[in-house]
Structure 1
Amino acid sequence: MTFGVDAKGIYPIAATPFNADMSVDYDSVDRLTEFYQDAGATGMTILGILGEAQKLEPEESLTIARRVIARSRVPVVVGISNPSFAAMRRLAHEVTDAGAAGVMLAPASHLRSDEQIAAYFHHCVEAIGPDVPWALQDFPLTLSVILSVPMISRIMKEHPSCVMLKAEDWPGLEKISAIRKLQAAGDLRKFSILTANGGLFLDFEPERGSDGAMTGYAFPDMLVELDRLHREGERDAAHDLFDAHLPLIRFEQQQGIGLAVRKYVLMRRGAITSDVQRSPRSSLTPTGRSEVDYLLERLPRKDPRARR
């Protein structure tokens, strides 16, 4: 399966399930893979920041990737960011050989100048090869690297194998508009833009030119419907659906405990067995869990899918 500059729709960022003893819960990996596909996902993205990729052993990462790819009926994008270019090269080649549609690369957090950023991605593409399609992750809130519109344009011009921008700058609406304006003027080639930020700005991002979302909100089925409503021009219906989920989206997106919330909701929905995280980890207090439970109890009043 492949993905490219025309990629659209919903590519959920997958969590990585663990057992109580911190080993990878492969049965839940299988169930989560089906959960995303049954929700109508266009593709899947694994081994990202949400997937706790930095906490995995190299062989665990490869085993998870192979397992998901083998079960997937949709394109799978694999996060391969790593301080070691050799490790990056190995994982990229192993997962593409296994059938991954492409990979995702984020800038290393120590980069500051545009020249450092440009050189870094040159080395990344040199390591994985110019024929491997990849998504550029723009996530300054966590990675502390600023990718300006001119810098993104430069990366896209220098590396035709970059087929997608995962846009999660904040604020990012004007950034999307600026990129699409350059493309409309013929000053920048075409590429897909999928947005993230936990879905916090999905009420307006499609109107600014996004092609869909690559995010980990625990209701991917809602994201699929929201995307459909936007594409069909049902603006009010899209905003009504978004508004119904916004309290939980906001709760999930809290710095520090966001992953704990998301894994708890996935567990409540039956997608994974346990909400365990590997260290360093955050956890929900009993009060925090009760607040999430309350939001989940209220949500079916406006969206029946939350009963499942």
Structure 2
Amino acid sequence: MTRLTEAARGVYVIAVTPFEENGALDLESVDRMVDFYEAAGVDGLTVLGQLGEAPKLTAEESKLVVERVLRRLDGRLPVVVGVSAPGLAPMQELATAVMGEGAAGVMVAPPWTIKTDDQAYGFYQSVGEALGDTPFVLQDYPLTTNVTIVPKVIDRIIKDVPNCVMLKHEDWPGLAKITALRASSDKGETRRISILCGNGGLFLPEEMGRGADGAMTGFCYPEMMVGVVREHVAGNLERAAELFAAYLPLARYEQQQGIGLAARKYVLAKRGVIKSGALRKPRPALSALDIADVERLLSAQAKRLAEIGA
């Protein structure tokens, strides 16, 4: 089993959870989805994230999805599993189960009850102790958790919690945070941990320029993130920017609150990755006008990709 480390790089795509139209899990589509992500060139998968509709799954369903993904990959790519929970006991239980199945690590977001720097530090210190030697990702997503964790607190966690090996950076605006964290590790004040970024890749070129190691987010065209990261690492910054710009209008559309995930699943279904674009209830639905928007964006994107030879 490959375990997650501070050296993780590239694109760890946030996987959707496929459902039938009636809301049942669609495990056959899980297989196709895994094959699709692997063929797109991603470096890892993250399952049971917020945009994987994890809160809508039962504990048993969560385990079924993880087992199916791990079985399909058969160790070819590392898998990170979201195990965030209101308390440490259910988090620890799920983490133990998925690591036993072969996951590479787990991801933990802070509970909304955290209000102070000391509370944020104390929470992740407790997470580190509860998880033992299981490597974990600190998910920093204040736009949804309403918990802001400033760089000095993250530095403190990195120093004192050795199994915190990655930051999933989704602060917005957050480029200065990446700069501050990299400055600390460059000076030798902290370990250098992996930083992968979210927010649908909307700031990926700039984040890479500030020292991020890649992306941990979802998009109906993961090829964009893979291409941008690879070109940036190779030093082809103009090509990275060109690829990013070609996909940006659709990526921006996906970031709408409410219907963004519905748009992503609509395109994935259209691409044959999943059988249905259904979300589990309660769910938003795309209107005819929304679908027309997406189709127009897809047409313009295809045209631009052809123009730049991508």
> TM-score band (shorter)?
over 0.9
Alignment partners' CA distance in 2, 1:281 and 1:189: 41
Structure 2 stretches of 5 or more lacking a match? none
- Tell me which residue corresponds to 1:111: 114
Give the C-alpha shift of residue 298 in structure 1.
1.4
Structure 2 counterpart SS, 1:204? helix
Give the C-alpha shift of residue 304 in structure 1.
4.7
- The code of the aligned residue for 2:63 comes to L
- Cα deviation, 1:193-223, whole Å, max 9, x if unaligned, reads 0001111001211111000000101111221
- The code of the aligned residue for 1:85 comes to L
- Tell me which residue corresponds to 2:204: 202
Structure 1 counterpart SS, 2:38? helix
Alignment partners' CA distance in 2, 1:283 and 1:156: 41
- The code of the aligned residue for 1:35 comes to F
Counterpart among 150, 153, 160 of residue 151 in structure 1: 153
Alignment partners' CA distance in 2, 1:17 and 1:213: 22
- Tell me which residue corresponds to 1:259: 261
- Give % identity: 48
- Tell me which residue corresponds to 1:37: 38
- The code of the aligned residue for 1:219 comes to Y
- Tell me which residue corresponds to 1:247: 249
Alignment partners' CA distance in 2, 1:260 and 1:168: 20
Alignment partners' CA distance in 2, 1:82 and 1:238: 37
- The code of the aligned residue for 1:13 comes to I
- The code of the aligned residue for 1:144 comes to N
Structure 1 stretches of 5 or more lacking a match? none
Alignment partners' CA distance in 1, 2:208 and 2:17: 28
Alignment partners' CA distance in 2, 1:89 and 1:183: 29
- Tell me which residue corresponds to 2:86: 83
- Tell me which residue corresponds to 2:21: 20
- Cα deviation, 1:14-43, whole Å, max 9, x if unaligned, reads 000110111110011111111111100100
- The code of the aligned residue for 1:284 comes to L
Give the C-alpha shift of residue 297 in structure 1.
1.2
- The code of the aligned residue for 1:69 comes to L
Alignment partners' CA distance in 2, 1:96 and 1:171: 33
Alignment partners' CA distance in 1, 2:118 and 2:181: 20
Structure 2 counterpart SS, 1:255? coil
Alignment partners' CA distance in 2, 1:163 and 1:304: 39
Alignment partners' CA distance in 1, 2:180 and 2:165: 18
TM-score for both structures, normalised by structure 1:
0.96
Aligned length: 304
- Tell me which residue corresponds to 2:281: 279
Give the C-alpha shift of residue 278 in structure 1.
1.4
Structure 2 counterpart SS, 1:103? strand
The two structures, once aligned, show a CA RMSD in angstroms of: 1.2
TM-score for both structures, normalised by structure 2:
0.96
- The code of the aligned residue for 2:118 comes to E
- Tell me which residue corresponds to 2:9: 8
Structure 1 counterpart SS, 2:32? helix
